[in-house]
Amino acid sequence: MSHTPLDPLGETARRLAGAESVLVLTGAGISAESGIPTFRGREGLWKNHDPMELASPEGFARDPALVWEWYAWRIGLVQAARPNPGHEALARLEKATPRFLLLTQNVDGLHRRAGSENLHEIHGSILRARCTETDRIYPIEDLDLEKIPVRTPEGTLARPDVVWFGETIRMDAYGAVEAFLADQPPDVCLVIGTSGLFAYIQGWVLRARRAGAFVADVNTDPSPLAQVCQAVIRQPAGEALPRLIP
Ligand code: OAD
């Protein structure tokens, strides 16, 4: 069990202010205050939807129209949303930190819109689609989302360019994290708004911790990763991050 400082927010803010190297992992919780629903929890998307129907290659093969209807709805939400103070604080942190890497499981593009650059969207982006035959990538603006299932301008079936259950995450993201952790251990690892259920997320947090990083978890609710964190900040990300990164 980890030691939690008496003032986890103050201690994490001090560590961040002096950090040479910071690794950040985010999940759906950071976009909750932008109005994007999370997956798990009381109001989570997986409460009323079956992930294997909507977010797996098998589900898409069975019913591409159903999957596209759900994605078209989520694309609409994302396009209407704006980055919140949590995303903005991370963009500031990147500018102030010599070595910085942000890994997000989110597909909403809000980190990029807030100004984050050294960023890997490890589960892809809802703002791109991919041809099911050629793997060619299309920005969502180039496609007609009114015609479901969505097709490429060439008439072939398109799919969201996201990582589904049963698929592997992008190799470039693996390479970037490996290089980041191998070159120089991070001083601080921030884990924000994720239930941390995936083994690769847990693995990266554990490696950062073993390499000597101060690991802090920002989450409104208890999360399994909190046990390996030296600081647990039980606050909404949109409130905690501007305090951590003024
Ligand atoms: P989850 O929905 O599993 O978890 C969201 C986490 O954010 C929970 O731990 C909440 O307690 C926390 N949370 C909610 N609101 C918050 C707030 N305002 N501030 C801070 N924390 C908050 O989302 P992820 O962990 O991102 O994958 O889920 C991981 C992956 O599972 C997603 O990328 C998606 C999903 O299935 C795929 O689609 C492949």
Give tens-digit pLDDT for 190-244. Answer: 999 999 999 999 999 999 999 999 999 999 999 889 889 999 999 999 999 999 9
2 has a pLDDT exceeding 60 = no
pLDDT at 43: 76
- pLDDT over 80 at 64, yes or no: yes
Ligand 1 centre to CA of 31 (Å) is 9
Cα-to-centroid distance, 193 and ligand 1 (Å): 6
- How confident is the model over 151-202, as pLDDT tens digits? 999 999 999 999 999 999 988 888 999 999 998 899 999 999 999 999 999 9
The stretch 51-76 carries a mean pLDDT of 95
What radius of gyration do the chain's Cα atoms show?
18
Q: Residue 3: its pLDDT value, please? A: 62
Specify whether the CB–CB gap between 23 and 186 falls below 8 A.
yes
**Cβ(220) – ligand 1 distance below 6 Å:** yes
Q: Which helix (DSSP H) or strand (DSSP E) does residue 215 occupy?
A: strand 214-218
C-beta neighbour count of 15 within 10 angstroms: 20
Statement: the pTM of the whole predicted model exceeds 0.85: yes
Average pLDDT over residues 1-21: 88
Geometric angle at alpha carbon 144, from 161 and 154, rounded to 5°: 75
Q: Check residue 200 and give its pLDDT.
A: 93
Please name the residue whose Cα sits nearest to atom 13 of ligand 1. 29
Instruction: Specify the length of the chain in residues.
Output: 246
Nearest CA to ligand 1 atom 14: 29
Give the rounded distance of the alpha carbon of 24 from its chain centre. Answer: 10
Known catalytic residue at 49: no
Whether the CB of 190 sits within 6 Å of ligand 1: no
Task: Tell me the CA–centroid distance for residue 148 and ligand 1, in Å.
Answer: 28
